[in-house]
Amino acid sequence: MTRSAHRIAFGQRLRDLRQEHDWASQEAFAHHVGLDRTYVSGLERGTRNPTLDVLVKLAHGLDVTPSELLSTVK
């Protein structure tokens, strides 16, 4: 699977925000937002490409705006 620079940047931002918001466990966070842990893992590793619906779910789960979640993506 291709790991483009923007996917890697998004994944790192997602991981950082998840940990900053005291979601140490990918599994607990994934359950909180209604996604599978392996999908969240793939997003954080930059191997998955989220849809707009998933971006909004993740942002709401982290109590940030979608634009804050995407702020490091160039």
Is 26 part of a structural domain of the chain? yes
Question: Residue 23 maps to which CATH number?
Answer: 1.10.260.40
pTM listed for this prediction: 0.93
Q: Is 73 part of a structural domain of the chain? A: no
Provide the residue range defining the domain that includes 26: 5-67
The total domain count for the chain is 1
* 43 domain residue, yes or no: yes
> What are the two backbone dihedrals, phi and then psi, of residue 45, each rounded to the nearest 5 degrees?
-85, -10
Contact 6, 47 (CB under 8 A): no
Q: Would you give per-residue pLDDT tens digits along the chain (74 residues)?
A: 668 999 999 999 999 999 999 999 999 999 999 999 999 999 999 999 999 999 999 999 999 999 999 999 88
Angstrom distance (rounded) from CA 3 to CA 60: 25
> Taking a C-beta distance cutoff of 8 angstroms, is the pair 74, 6 a contact?
yes
Rounded to whole angstroms, how far apart are CA atoms 4 and 61? 25
Residue 72 located in a structural domain: no
